[in-house]
Each structure stands twice: as structure tokens, then as C-alpha cells.
A = this chain, B = another copy of it.
Amino acid sequence: MENWINAEGLKDNVILSSRIRLARNLKGYPFPNKINKETADEIIKNIEDAFYSNENSKEEFKTIRLDEKTEIEKEMLFQKHIVSKSLLKNKDIGSVILNSNESISVMINEEDHLRIQGISSGLSLKEIYENINRIDNIIEEKLEFAYDSDIGYLTACPTNVGTGVRASVMVHLPCLCITKEIENAFNAVSKMGMTIRGLYGEGSKGYGNIFQISNQITLGPTEEEIINGLNAMIYQIIDKEKEARTRLMDRYKYEMKDRIMRARGILSTAIIIDYKESMELLSMIRLGIELDLIKDISKTTLNKLLIDISLPALQDKFKDEIKNDNINFYRAIVIKENFIKRGV
């Protein structure tokens, strides 16, 4: 599995990353919203012991105690999609076990006792599933999960009951947004029992034409069926986006180039720029790379910028210099660092 930020990926890939998480709970303990610190520590210890009993786990992974991290460091983990908002809310009782390239995170005492998550570059659901399934098995060998033979795995929230699987894919759909066909894509996705959301999940907006498409149903189909279903939907959406790209480039070649090059011009010169506009312009640069119109900027640079222009990343980089009224100024500095050195 590849760290999704550092991977360059295929040039024409419209998929930024794939992600799967399994929700599991230990038998005999209340769900995390009902436990005290003592019980939480016991759960952490049980899971860590079970997980690290495996020799490979010890080499590849290490535990991060959230109560030892600053607020900004925790927010950064969220920005990188390593931990969930729910884990950050449970920061006093939560913990996360992370591998070295930050592609697998085992969250403990999130909404459920255990959330095993894999995230990797491109469309890689099957590979991710194999990897997190292996971790699931390592832990299940030692610990008994809350499981009902009729229903499947029991979870804190009923929407996760059954397989406990949530698979999602982060897609970049600028041309479906330009042609407004994105509405059709939204409808198609929800008819198939899946959801489409913004970059940071539920309630977040599809800034920069980046969306997360994920399964909604966890009860009924098998884990494999869920993943195959999502995969099939994603292939359809990729096709639609590529069709839209071809059509737009056929009919509006100069207008498209204009949009992309102007985005580059603005990103290279703006003195103040807000998050939304940055995301929109960076989306045009990504499209420019994917259409082979921009050759000297890497997708890795863009992936890093997705994180680096966020408020926590700016706070982490500029510390106390960041005030409410100068965030857009420092964001512009970070962006220009990545653009100007290449010339416009």
C-alpha cells in the first residue's frame, strides 16, 4: 500500500485514494460512549497486546497516544485522513496504532472499540481489504468481538452493523462539475445505496471538485460484495468524468486551457487566498496535469498542498504568527512556494 499523499499515481488517474475501515467491538465491554478512562485503558491494553503479539506488527507499527499530542498535531492526523473526527472527540480515551507509511491506522476507542482503517493511493480497494483483513484476523485470534450469528458484527451506531465495513474512494471530478453532470452522478450513486460527500466526509463540502464515494449499506451483502459494488460504481464514474474531459477538450479546448493556465497564474501571484478558492484553483492544476497541459508540477505537490493549505497545517507551520485575519495571507505564501519556483 502506498501513502496517498506521496504517491504520484497514474497521470490520468481521477482517483486520489481509496480507504476501507472495519468497525469492531470487544465482547463484554460497553461501547466507548459509555466507558470511563479506566475501562478505556483496559480496552487499549487488550487490543495492543493482541495486535503486537504478531511479530510483523511490532516492526511495522507504533502506537500514538492522542493525549500526548497537541491540538494541531491531532488535527493534522485528521487532515491526512489517518484518524477520524470521532477519535479526536474521544481524545482522552482514544489511541491509534499507525504503520510507518501512514497507510494503516488502528483506531482504538473511537465510536467503536476498534476501527481498522487502510488508505492507499489510487483505486486500490482490494489490496486495502486484504491488508486490513489480515489485521482484523490477528486481533480476532486473541480477542472475542461482539458478534451476532444472525446480524454480524455489533457496532455503536446501527448504520455500521453487520460487516462493519465502510469503503470509500476519493475522486476528482472537475469536468463533471463543469458540465453539471455531477448531479446525475450523485443520483446514480444514491440509487445504488451509496453516498457521495465532500473531501472530509459527512457535512463537508466538495471543495476543489474532490468527492468521497462510499457504501451506505453494511448489513446484508458480504464484505467482498460491498467492495466489488463500490469498485464497479467507481469505474462508471471514472468513465463519465473521462467522457466529459474528452468532450470539453474537443469543444472548448482554448477555454479549458485558459481556465487551467489562469489558475496557475493566480496561485503564483495571489497575496491573499481563501481555502475554497485555493481548492478550486488547485483542482484546475490537477486537471491540467491529467490532461498533459501542465508537465512541471507533480500530483504529489498537489496532494501535499491539500493538507498544507488547511488551517491546522498553517498553524503548525507558522505557529503564533497565524491570526484570524492573516490565514489567507499565509496560505498564499505556502501555495506560492510550490508554484513560483517553477515559474509561470
Contact = CB atoms under 8 A, between A and B. Distances in A.
Interface size class of A (residues with CB under 8 A): 20 to 34
A315 B261 CA distance: 25
Nearest to A344: B344
Contacts of A268: 265, 269, 344
B269 A254 contact: no
A306 to B, nearest CB: 21
A255 interface: yes
Interface in A249-278: 254-255, 257-258, 261-262, 264-273
User: Dominant SS at the A interface?
Assistant: helix
Contacts of A146: none
A266 B269 CA distance: 9
Contacts of A264: 265, 269
A28 interface: no
A258 to B, nearest CB: 4
A135 to B, nearest CB: 47
Contacts of A269: 261-262, 264-265, 268, 344
A293 B291 CA distance: 35
A343 interface: yes
A340 interface: yes
19 contacts: A255-B272, A258-B271, A258-B272, A258-B273, A261-B269, A262-B266, A262-B269, A262-B271, A264-B265, A265-B265, A265-B266, A265-B268, A265-B270, A265-B344, A268-B269, A340-B344, A343-B343, A343-B344, A344-B344
